Amino acid sequence: MLLLACAAVLVEAALLVAAAVVGVVALVSGGDAGPVLFLVALALGTATLLASAARGLWHGRRWARAPVLTAQAFLLVTAAAWWSVDGGATALALGLVALGVVVAVLSPRVVAVTSRGRDAGA
């Protein structure tokens, strides 16, 4: 379950980097600089946080559960909103991935691995 959670979170981080690249391409092709720069910075910052959290989960750090679960909550809200405006299969896939990560991170084994003692340096 830990491997599944870490892999899914890293895929989410990679997709955020891809979205940032799309934003930079839109900016170069004449997009409005303000919103695009904000969204690119937000995507890259979130991708960095998720990648760090995946690494933290892999190393058994308790702190890593919080950013992963928070990101999944945002994904579930996004999927629900997207579904309500006919998002179809994409919204369903997004919601299912988010639910899968939540189940994996909150599984007893992953919680046990990430609850051993105190976090070093936290």
The per-residue pLDDT for range 10-21, each reduced to its tens digit, is 999 999 999 999
* Residue 122 maps to a domain: no
Residue 100 sits in which domain range? 2-113
* Residue 97 maps to a domain: yes
Q: How far apart are CA 67 and CA 94, in angstroms?
A: 17
* Dihedral, CA of residue 37, residue 45, residue 107 and residue 60, to nearest 10: 170
Six-digit token pair at 25?
Answer: 């391409």
The per-residue pLDDT for range 39-57, each reduced to its tens digit, is 999 999 999 999 999 999 9
Q: How far apart are CA 10 and CA 16, in angstroms?
A: 10
* Residue 120 maps to a domain: no
* Residue 61 maps to a domain: yes
pLDDT at residue 97, as a whole number:
95
Is residue 35 scored above 90 in pLDDT?
Answer: no
pLDDT at residue 119, as a whole number:
55
Burial 71-96 (b: 16+ CB within 10 A, else e): bbeebbeebeebeeeebeeebeebbe
As a whole number, the mean pLDDT across the chain is 92
The per-residue pLDDT for range 59-69, each reduced to its tens digit, is 999 999 999 99
What is the number of other CB atoms lying within 10 angstroms of the CB of residue 34?
8
* Residue 121 maps to a domain: no
* Residue 38 maps to a domain: yes
121: phi > 0 → left, psi -120 to 50 → alpha, else beta; which?
left
Number of domains in the chain: 1
